[in-house]
């Protein structure tokens, strides 16, 4: 079942009567009822933000599955709730961060769910206040009836300042994903400089949030962006499909890592991770949502 989170408050509209001085309020559109799962996921987000801003790392950590995976905008990758909580506690102690989330949409698939939105943070360092913002995509799973965060990826919506300290990405994992056909075709046409054909791998109402850029919504807008990127920064991409989670009913979550190199075997330019929500269509697997992050590729 696909669900869309509705956050706007519906207001009654006053209309003047045709005769006399009386006014009547038109009936407000009925608010869509939230399912129990939608309400639980909304509560999880609210609790996460509240306790994060209060510096309660262990409480925030209770929202993660034991084997959760965090793919950070700063290229730090953490596997397991304990590692995620330890990093979170260190950040809270060092910088007292404050975060705001603007959630855009959630889709549920039985005991799994995927959502995306944008965030804004502000932290206090010895050098002063530092603000950042970007996009996130989160995959949830039910553990003994309670929703938990399984995978989360974040990126920046603009290039970090010069000298920004990226995290330690660690050794890339083995490729065990099942989206080889989609990933292989995407890589081929990107490297051939075919922006419209790359955009064809997205559904018409797709959302794509690439590293250091705000979200782009709609197939035509993604095609335009692809053409601009290919023209401004010609590069070849190598995409590694690490893992796929079957969500059922023709949906899947796919993740991995990529590396950008200058054309014709040139220097490595960027390395990052990605997370995709994909749908099986009559044309094959197509991307509904995509979030990528990236930092400078390590020197070889």
Q: What percent of the chain has pLDDT over 70?
A: 88
Q: What is the largest CA-CA distance in the chain?
A: 82
296 or 19, greater pLDDT: 296
pLDDT score, position 62:
98
The residue ranges of every structural domain in the chain are: 36-154, 180-296
Q: How confident is the model at residue 130 (pLDDT cuts 50, 70, 90)?
A: confident
Domain 36-154 shares a fold with domain 180-296: yes
pTM over 0.85: yes
pLDDT score, position 23:
42
Instruction: State the average pLDDT over residues 49-65.
Output: 98
pLDDT score, position 86:
97
pLDDT score, position 28:
56
Q: How confident is the model at residue 129 (pLDDT cuts 50, 70, 90)?
A: confident
Residues 264-293: b if buried by 16+ CB within 10 A, e if exposed: eeeebbbbbbbbbbbbeeeeebbbbbbbbb
Q: What is the mean pLDDT of the chain?
A: 88
Q: Picking from 164-168, 186-190, 232-236, which range would have the lowest pLDDT averaged per residue? A: 164-168
pLDDT score, position 51:
98
Q: How confident is the model at residue 33 (pLDDT cuts 50, 70, 90)?
A: confident
pLDDT score, position 7:
31
Tell whether the model's pLDDT for residue 245 goes beyond 80: yes
Tell whether the model's pLDDT for residue 63 goes beyond 50: yes
Tell whether the model's pLDDT for residue 165 goes beyond 70: yes
Instruction: State the average pLDDT over residues 233-244.
Output: 96
- Where in the chain does DSSP place strands (E)? 14-16, 23-25, 64-71, 77-79, 98-109, 112-125, 128-143, 146-154, 202-209, 216-217, 235-248, 251-262, 268-281, 284-292, 295-296
Q: How confident is the model at residue 162 (pLDDT cuts 50, 70, 90)?
A: confident
Instruction: State the average pLDDT over residues 23-39.
Output: 69
Tell whether the model's pLDDT for residue 9 goes beyond 60: no
Query: How far, in Å, are 1, 10, 26, 28 from residue 15 at the CA level?
Result: 37, 16, 7, 12
CATH architecture classification, 36-154? Roll (3.10)
Tell whether the model's pLDDT for residue 19 goes beyond 50: no
pLDDT score, position 30:
61
Q: How confident is the model at residue 61 (pLDDT cuts 50, 70, 90)?
A: very high
Tell whether the model's pLDDT for residue 18 goes beyond 50: no
Q: Picking from 86-95, 128-137, 158-167, which range would have the lowest pLDDT averaged per residue? A: 158-167
Question: Encoding tokens for residue 85?
Answer: 């909580």
Using CB atoms within 10 A of its CB, is residue 132 exposed (0-12), middle (13-18) or buried (19+)?
A: buried
Q: How confident is the model at residue 164 (pLDDT cuts 50, 70, 90)?
A: confident
Instruction: State the average pLDDT over residues 242-253.
Output: 98
CATH architecture classification, 180-296? Roll (3.10)
pLDDT score, position 167:
80
């Amino acid at each position: 079942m696909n669900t869309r989170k509705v956050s706007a408050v519906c207001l009654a509209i006053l209309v003047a009567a045709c005769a006399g001085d009386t006014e009547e309020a038109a009936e407000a559109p009925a608010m869509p009822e939230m399912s129990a799962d939608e309400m639980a996921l909304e509560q999880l987000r609210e609790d996460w933000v509240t306790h994060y801003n209060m510096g309660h790392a262990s409480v925030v950590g209770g929202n993660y599955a034991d084997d959760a995976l965090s793919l950070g905008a700063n290229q730090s990758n953490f596997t397991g709730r304990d590692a995620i909580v330890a990093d979170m506690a260190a950040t809270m102690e060092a910088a007292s961060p404050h975060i705001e989330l603007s959630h855009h949409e959630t889709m549920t698939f039985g005991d799994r769910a995927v959502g995306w939105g944008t965030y804004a943070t502000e932290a206090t360092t010895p050098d002063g206040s530092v603000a950042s913002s970007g996009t996130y995509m989160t995959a949830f799973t039910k553990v003994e009836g309670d929703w938990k965060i399984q995978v989360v990826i974040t990126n920046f919506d603009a290039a970090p300042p010069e000298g920004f300290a990226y995290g330690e990405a660690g050794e890339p994992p083995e490729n065990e994903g099942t989206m080889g056909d989609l990933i292989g075709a995407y890589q081929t046409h990107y490297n051939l400089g075919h922006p419209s054909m790359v955009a064809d791998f997205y559904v018409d109402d797709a959302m794509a949030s690439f590293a250091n850029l705000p979200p782009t919504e709609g197939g035509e807008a993604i095609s335009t962006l692809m053409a601009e990127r290919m023209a401004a920064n010609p590069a070849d991409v190598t995409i590694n499909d690490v893992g796929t989670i079957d969500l059922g009913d023709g949906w899947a979550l796919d993740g991995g890592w990529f590396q950008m190199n200058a054309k014709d075997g040139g220097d490595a330019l960027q390395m990052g991770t990605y997370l995709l929500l994909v749908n099986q269509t009559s044309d094959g697997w197509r991307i509904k949502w995509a979030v990528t992050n990236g930092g400078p590729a390590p020197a070889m």
